[in-house]
Amino acid sequence: MPLHAAEALILRTYKLGEADRIVVFLTADRGKRRGVAKGARKPKSRFAGGLEPLTRGRVEYFERERRELVRLRYAEPICSPLLCRDASALAHAGYFAELIDEWSPEADPSDALFRLGAAAVEALAAGGPVERLARYFEYWLLRLQGVYPPLDRCGNCGGGLEAGARLSPGAGLLACPACEPAGAGAPLSGAAIAFLRAARSAAPGALEEIALEDRAGRELAAAHRLLIRTHLEKDLKSLRVVREMAGDSG
Ligand SMILES: [Zn+2]
């Protein structure tokens, strides 16, 4: 049984048997893994405090031949969402972890996705602005997946988007007010677009310096929800088809 040591982000856990947990975690070098944490639900477990979703930590695990589940030896937190000062930040840690879980295929390493999650938990633990971080995180996650439409110009006529745009997830583009005066998709004001443009070159720890007024924040939240729903449904369907074709009904 080869032993691997890695930096990892905990994505989710669920109960197994009387005292154990199954842990889904994203490693920096080998992508997403699932493992058994023996005795993780016992009071004095060596996993105590290390398995909260979005915890960044060091893990050691054994790969088992022809077994999908690895065995976790330990998980030691480096940065934990339990350091968050309020419930909203902690809840967002769970949201970010779930998004990463949904968007990261098994055993397909993405250094960029790992670094995004690691930077997000650090910003949350440091008390950064939660809503701005959430919009930033969604933007970068979707951008890394190649589903965020280009921000520079209208996807239809090539005109500027300074006056705002409408996001059309089906067409995968942002359209200017002249091309898309109203109707389908989510509206984004010039202020919302400006936030995204600033987010392109900012670190998650520097979001204090980027303004996001409430209205623009709500627009971005709605637009991102629409994009995520549209694309995850599509992805999950194709994943199911791929698994069925591979004869894997689990
Ligand atoms: Zn246009």
Domain boundary among 102, 127, 152: 127
Residues 173 and 236 in one domain: yes
Residues 104 and 154 in one domain: no
Distance 224 CA to ligand 1 centre (A): 21
Q: Are strands 20-27 and 31-37 parallel, antiparallel or unpaired?
A: antiparallel
Structural domain including 218 reads: 143-250
Domain boundary among 127, 162, 183: 127
Distance 171 CA to ligand 1 centre (A): 13
- 31, part of any domain: yes
Distance 160 CA to ligand 1 centre (A): 8
**Per-residue CA distances from 130 to 118, 150, 194, 213 (Å):** 15, 25, 18, 13
Distance 198 CA to ligand 1 centre (A): 22
Distance 146 CA to ligand 1 centre (A): 21
Residues 183 and 94 in one domain: no
Distance 11 CA to ligand 1 centre (A): 40
User: Rounded to whole angstroms, how far apart are CA atoms 82 and 194?
Assistant: 32
User: Rounded to whole angstroms, how far apart are CA atoms 92 and 52?
Assistant: 12
Residues 161 and 99 in one domain: no
Distance 98 CA to ligand 1 centre (A): 35
This prediction has a pTM of 0.89
Tens-digit pLDDT profile for the chain (250 aa)?
789 999 999 999 999 999 999 999 999 889 999 999 999 999 888 888 899 999 999 999 998 877 789 999 999 999 999 988 888 888 888 889 988 998 888 778 889 999 999 999 999 999 999 889 999 999 999 999 888 999 999 999 999 999 999 998 777 889 998 887 677 789 999 999 999 999 999 998 899 999 999 999 999 988 988 888 888 874 333 223 222 433 444 3
